[in-house]
Each structure stands twice: as structure tokens, then as C-alpha cells.
Structure 1
Amino acid sequence: MRRSSTHTKAAILDAARQRFAADGYDRTTIRAIADAAGIDPSMVMRYFGSKQHLFACAADMDLQLPDLVALPPDRVGWALAAHIVDRWEVDDALQILLRTAMTTDESAERMRGIFAAQLVPMITELTGDPGQAPARAGLAASQALGLALCRYVLRFPPLVDLSRDAIVEWLGPTLQRYLVGSP
């Protein structure tokens, strides 16, 4: 049965996300992605041109940050903590980026770009201080990425066993301090 180009492209992206998440960027091959998608490897190249471009498309994401400016200023850290945990639980693209960012410069740059582009403007709006926003964003990202690395990649038993609410209560005050100041 023949698939439409839209369905073929979607199947390639789904297979690429799975392979990149499981094997990392370096060990993932176009052939493995094609096999997982049930197509010839030439079709992967036809739609995406290169492994690098396919990775960029597979790992393209919006953090879908909540509108923290609309919240009470003394609760933004907890709101961001809850959002981070919820996103990591369901978003393979974040896990793909995290796994591959540890091994490839391109992936690391993509991760830095996503967090900077999405966190810095929000923090600037929250604090009114564009000079400190990049440092605050970097510190907040360090917590989000550190949690994700330990819970979802390394699978540290204490973190894997914590409930969502417990993580939010532990992480919330730290993010609060990084975002706007002391809780």
C-alpha cells in the first residue's frame, strides 16, 4: 500500500525520533531509520537530504512554556517545575536532544539555542532585567536538564521513584530563585 508524502515524512520523523533517542546521533544510521519506517533509505534522503537535517527536524521543538508572567510572582518557580516534569514525561524530542547533546556539538548547540530563545525573553519580562536574564536562564536550564539527565537517562533510583508532586516541591524553590529571586 502506497503512503502519501505527508505520511511518509511523518513515519520517517517518528522512526528518527525513536532511533536517535535509543542510539544517539552518532550510532543512528539512515538505514536503521528507513528500516524502522518501512521504506528504502533513499526515501529518507529524498525527504530530508542529510542525517543532520533529519536530526534538526526530529529534534525541533517548542518548550511550550506556560505564561509565567500571568502568575503570581511568588509561584513562578513551582509552575515552571511542574511544566518541566510534565514535558519530560511525554516529549521524546527533549530526550533525543538531551541524549545527543552529550555527544555532538550540533545537538548541544541546538539545546542551548532552544533554551536561550525561549527562556531568556520570559525571564526578561518577569524581572525587567535583560542583563541578568541569560544567566538566570542558564541556571534554570541547568536544573531542568540535570533533573532530566538523572531521572530519564541515568535513571537514578531516588529520582525515578519520586512522584511528580515531590519533584515539583523540591525543584520549585530553586527555579523560583533562578527566575526572579528568593522564594
Structure 2
Amino acid sequence: MSAVTTPPTTDHHRTEPAPRRDAGQTKAAILRAARYLLARHAQADITLRTVAERAGVSPPLILKYFGNKDALFARVMSFEEDADALLDAPVDGLGRHMVRHLLTGQTERGADPVLRIVFAPFQGDQGDIMRANFRTQVSDRLTARLTGPDPGLRAELAVGTLLGLGVMYGIARGTHLREATIDDIVDRYAPTVQALLTP
């Protein structure tokens, strides 16, 4: 009785499936692209195609994840998720956390948690929405965590101090500042922020 042999299969027509795109990474890339463009153009002048090209995706994918342009930019103009991460530390160590979070956001994630508020004046009526979101989602939330006198004033001064660092580091790109290590900047700058948070 002879052994049955099967003919060898030929794989030259088969192709490897394309790697699946990670939904979280794709959404993050779209939001980064929209934030980048919103910092340079009025929302009315930004098209979904422009956002898609910058994010390296197709416009239909933006619609799949965000629904429409208005919904996408509503997310971009919200500071809710960013504030969750920015304020995620006990108050007695919050200054260090905020400074480090801002700097690592710019250097590692390519996104600043609060800096886009600087561009609100370019957004017309949408800028008013950004300002209102910023007040309630960042400044007011920080105020609610502070004890002692003038918590609202201290919260706004602390956030303003943080924004100054963000502008100098991410927009003005100060030469000496960008040559310093993040640890060095945190050690030097965080006490200034913390002094406003601690009564």
C-alpha cells in the first residue's frame, strides 16, 4: 500500500493581511491633527480632508470615530480628559505633577494639555466656547481642590504660570529651556506653581 502524498501548496498568490489599525491610536492621531490645525487656523477654515491628511487617515475614518466635523472639534475644544490627567495628583505634590505632565505631553505625546487655550482669540464664537470650557474644566476644578484664602485667584495664577512655561517651551521654543532636562525644569519651576497651590 503506497503512502498518499499531497501536492505542495503554493503561497505565491496569498498576501499577508495588513496590520490592524489600533482604534485608540487612530483617534489620538486625529485629535492631535485637529488640535494642531486649530492652533493655526479658524475652525471654519479647516476641512475634514485637511485633518485626515495630517493624521494619515481617510476622511471617512474621522466620520466613523467622531460622527462629523462639529463633534470632532467639540472634543478638541473640551479640556475634560486633559484636566483629568493634569490634576491627577494630591494637592501637596500637584505642582510637580502639573509641570512634568505639561512637559512630557509636549516631548513624548506631541500634545499639550492646556496650551490650545492660547489660540482661542483666533476662533471667533468658538473661542468663547473654548474659554468657557477652560474655566469650568480646568480652573474651576483646580479651585475646588484648594483650601485656604482666595482659592480661585490662586488656581488661575497657578494655571497661568503653567501656561507661561508651555508657551516658552512649546511655542517660543526657548533654546536654554529646551536644552535642559525635564527633571531640571521640574525641580526649578514646580516650586513656583506649588507655592500658589499650598495655602
TM-score, normalised via structure 2 length:
0.64
Q: 1:175 to 1:115 in 2, by over 3 A?
A: same
Which residue in the other structure is 1:180 paired with?
198
Residue 38 in structure 1 maps to residue 53 in structure 2 = no
1:135: how far off? 0.9
* Percent of residue pairs identical: 23
Give the Cα–Cα distance (whole angstroms) in 1 for the partners of residues 144 and 68 of structure 2. Answer: 32
Residue 121 in structure 1 maps to residue 144 in structure 2 = yes
Candidates 120, 139, 142, aligned match of 1:101? 120
1:28: how far off? 2.9
Q: 1:90 to 1:117 in 2, by over 3 A?
A: farther
1:155: how far off? 0.9
Which residue in the other structure is 2:12 paired with?
none
Q: Secondary structure at the match of 2:113?
A: helix
Residue 138 in structure 1 maps to residue 153 in structure 2 = no
Partner amino acid, structure 1, of 2:100: A
Partner amino acid, structure 1, of 2:134: M
Kept after mapping to 2: 8 A contact 1:143/1:175: yes
Partner amino acid, structure 2, of 1:68: P
Q: Deviations over 1:5-49 (max 9, x none)?
A: x94x9635522422431563525321212344532x466456545
Partner amino acid, structure 2, of 1:89: T
Give the Cα–Cα distance (whole angstroms) in 2 for the partners of residues 17 and 80 of structure 1. Answer: 20
Give the Cα–Cα distance (whole angstroms) in 2 for the partners of residues 52 and 100 of structure 1. Answer: 18
Give the Cα–Cα distance (whole angstroms) in 2 for the partners of residues 98 and 143 of structure 1. Answer: 14
Kept after mapping to 1: 8 A contact 2:155/2:196: yes
Q: Secondary structure at the match of 1:103?
A: helix
Q: 1:178 to 1:53 in 2, by over 3 A?
A: same
Q: 1:93 to 1:14 in 2, by over 3 A?
A: farther
Kept after mapping to 2: 8 A contact 1:17/1:93: no
Residue 68 in structure 1 maps to residue 83 in structure 2 = no
CA-atom RMSD in angstroms: 3.5
Kept after mapping to 1: 8 A contact 2:139/2:155: yes
Kept after mapping to 1: 8 A contact 2:120/2:130: yes
Give the Cα–Cα distance (whole angstroms) in 2 for the partners of residues 79 and 16 of structure 1. Answer: 23
Q: Which of the pair has more CA radius of gyration?
A: 2
Give the Cα–Cα distance (whole angstroms) in 1 for the partners of residues 74 and 153 of structure 2. Answer: 26
Q: Post-superposition, which runs of at least 4 consecutive aligned residues in structure 1 deviate over 4 A?
A: none
Q: Tell me how many residue pairs correspond in the alignment.
A: 170
TM-score, normalised via structure 1 length:
0.69
Which structure has greater helix proportion? 1
Which residue in the other structure is 1:156 paired with?
174
